[in-house]
Amino acid sequence: MEQVPSARATRSPLLPIFLIVLVDVLGLTIILPLLPFYAEHFGASATEVGMLISTYALCQLIAGPVLGRMSDYMGRKPLLIVSQLGTLVGFLILAFANSLWMVFVARVIDGLTAGNLSLAQAQISDVTEPENRARSFGIIGIAFGIGFLIGPAISGFLAQYSAQYPIFAAAFLSASSVVCTATLLQKATPHADEGDSGPGGKRLGIFEWGAYAQYFARPELGRLLLQFFFFAFSFAMLTSGFALFGERRYHYGVKEVGYVFAWVGLLGIILQGSLMRPLVKMFGERKLVWTGFAGNMVGYGLLAWSRTLPQLLTATTVSSYGNGVLRPSVTALITHQAGRREQGVVLGLTQSLTSISQIIAPLIAGAMIQRGWLSAWALGVATVCLFGLLASLPKTSQ
């Protein structure tokens, strides 16, 4: 008699990862439009808002490769739980902050344990074949789309009653994420246990900082990591400055900024949910990368000259294509260049590149916006995308 598979056996291994990332992104997108205004409530200038975001990223830079490498040895699940607990503690401190220094402390704690996204991506890489990874990483994009659709709207609605309410909502979602990870995510055998995993066949220790640089020395992998850096830098410069840009040019508050993010989220859901699979099949990841940079460059250029709501929505619509295809395509290409026992550390490096971007870009964005250089800020983001476009173009034959 044929045995019927259990529900646990037939359930997609990507479903719990999607739920975990979705809950995490919802918490992130609730905080994203609120944090600049929350910091200004405690007397922060635009430059200090940039420093606040950079402080979080600096801590994330230190922790990213270490958490990724530890997950190669110990498994993704326990490190995900540690990361999510740190986020929860950071949100609770943020909610009860009564001065600017406490806001900084909250972001430091969250940053030192921040590895949710790279660890989730490593888990996806563990359970999918290389040819399916771009489509599989698309679930991250769907989660971001849903998060940007719902999270900022929640933030804008709750903030009209109290600035603490959105933060409490984010903390609740973070606690829910811990529960989802503990109960839904299956434990997988760490690939690092299978043998040597460092460049050149050398087993890479968790705290051998110099050895991480060897991954950048691999020609193709190094080129892809550079492309990821340009994407991360442009995205960090955009997200860290947009709320203040909207406040100064359009006189927007948390609610209006949240609605714009919600529009971007809706476009992301459409792209990742319906279009990503056929786009990968038709064009492949490499073409999607350079067309994504081109779309971002045009969209941010339009943003620089926008003065009306229709112009703003047009600019964000164009750039949404670029952001939608870039992250999953570049990430998939990076995992193709790394061995199965290196997925955690390589994706941890992408987290570190994101952190470096979030250290530098918010400082630049904050300083430019404080000086009233609103169009120059948007054109600066477009210029970063131009560099990414040049780095992603096919090499000419010799």
**pTM to 2 decimals?**
0.70
Indicate the range of 91-95, 164-168, 197-201, 276-280 predicted with least confidence: 197-201
Burial of 278 (0-12, 13-18, 19+ CB in 10 A): exposed
Average pLDDT, stretch 366-394? 92
Q: How confident is the model at residue 364 (pLDDT cuts 50, 70, 90)?
A: very high
Question: What average pLDDT does this structure show over 247-264?
Answer: 86
Give the start-to-end residue ranges of the domains of the chain: 15-185+215-392
Domain 15-185+215-392 has CATH 1.20.1250.20: yes
The two tokens of residue 45 are 């200038």
More confident residue, 307 or 258: 307
Give the number of C-alpha atoms closer than 13 A to the C-alpha of residue 41, restricted to the C-beta side. 18
Residues 285/64, Cβ–Cβ less than 8 Å = no
d(CA 162, CA 38): 11
Sign of CA dihedral 79, 82, 85, 89: negative
The answer to whether 111 and 83 are in contact (CB under 8 A) is: no
Q: What is the pLDDT of residues 169-200, one digit of tens each?
A: 988 988 888 888 888 776 655 444 444 444 44
Provide the token pair at 285.
């990841």
Distance CA 54, CA 172 (A): 25
Each residue's pLDDT tens digit, 332-350: 888 888 766 676 677 778 8
Instruction: Give residue 283's pLDDT band: very low, low, confident or very high (50, 70, 90).
Output: confident
Distance, CA of 270 to CA of 116 (rounded, Å): 24
Asked if residue 307 has pLDDT above 80, the reply is yes
> 250: exposed, middle or buried (C-beta count within 10 Å: 0-12, 13-18, 19+)?
middle
Residue with tokens 């490593």: 122
For the segment 129-155, the average pLDDT, to the nearest whole number, is 74
Give per-residue pLDDT as tens, 18-75: 777 777 778 778 887 888 888 888 888 888 888 887 888 788 777 766 776 777 777 7
- Residues 114-135: tens digit of each pLDDT: 666 667 777 777 766 666 666 6
Is residue 167's pLDDT more than 50?
A: yes
Amino acid 309: pLDDT: 92
Tell me which residue of 250, 235, 258 sits closest to 32, measured CA to CA: 258
203-236: pLDDT as tens digits: 445 445 555 677 777 878 888 999 999 999 999 9
Helices (H), the chain: 7-10, 14-31, 35-41, 46-74, 76-95, 100-112, 116-127, 133-159, 164-184, 209-212, 214-217, 219-249, 254-270, 276-305, 309-336, 343-370, 374-392
For residues 367 and 45, give the distance between their C-alpha atoms in angstroms, rounded to a whole number: 10
Segment 258-283 mean pLDDT? 81
pLDDT higher for 11 or 350? 350
User: What pLDDT, on a 0 to 100 scale, did the predictor assign at position 130?
Assistant: 67
Q: Which residues of 324-356 are buried (b: 16+ CB within 10 A; e: fewer)?
A: bbbbbbbbbbbbbbbeebbbbbbbbbbbbbbbb
**Which pLDDT belongs to residue 132?**
66
